[in-house]
Amino acid sequence: MTDHFFGNSLWYLVKQSDIVTKIVLLILLVMSIFCWAIFFYKLIMFRVKRRQLEDAIAALKRVTTLEGLITTANKFTHTLPGYLISKSLVAFKHTMNKSEGELTALLTESSYERLQDSIDQTVMELVSTEEAYIPMLSVSAGASPLLGLFGTVWGLVHAFVRIGELQTADIATVAPGIAEALITTLAGLMVAIPAYVMYHYVTNKVRWTERQLFICADQISMIMRGLCTKEV
CA gap 94, 115 in Å, rounded: 9
pTM for this structure? 0.80
**Which of 46-50, 58-62, 160-164, 169-173 is least confident?**
169-173
> What contacts 122, CB < 8 A, 6 or more positions away?
83, 84, 87, 88, 91, 217
- How confident is the model over 105-124, as a mean pLDDT? 76
Task: Say if 82 falls within a structural domain.
Answer: yes
Q: What is the pLDDT of residue 101?
A: 47
Task: Say if 189 falls within a structural domain.
Answer: yes
Task: Say if 5 falls within a structural domain.
Answer: no
Task: Say if 11 falls within a structural domain.
Answer: no
Task: Say if 10 falls within a structural domain.
Answer: no
Beta-carbon count within 10 A of 201 CB: 14
pLDDT band at 41 (very low <50, low <70, confident <90, very high): very high
- How confident is the model over 17-40, as a mean pLDDT? 90
Q: What is the pLDDT of residue 151?
A: 86
Cβ proximity of 85 and 97 under 8 Å: no
- How confident is the model over 200-217, as a mean pLDDT? 94
> What contacts 77, CB < 8 A, 6 or more positions away?
86
Q: What three-state secondary structure class fits 1?
A: coil
The residue type found at 43 is L
Task: Say if 2 falls within a structural domain.
Answer: no
Beta-carbon count within 10 A of 119 CB: 24
Task: Say if 7 falls within a structural domain.
Answer: no
DSSP string, 178-221: HHHHHHHHHHHHHHHHHHHHHHHHHHHHHHHHHHHHHHHHHHHH
Q: What is the pLDDT of residue 19?
A: 83
Query: Domain span at residue 28?
Result: 16-231
194: left (phi over 0), alpha (psi -120 to 50) or beta: alpha
For the chain, list the strands marked E by DSSP: none
Mean pLDDT of the chain: 82
Task: Say if 87 falls within a structural domain.
Answer: yes
Q: What is the DSSP letter of 135?
A: H
* Angle, alpha carbons 172-176-182 (nearest 5°): 140
Q: How many domains does the chain have?
A: 1
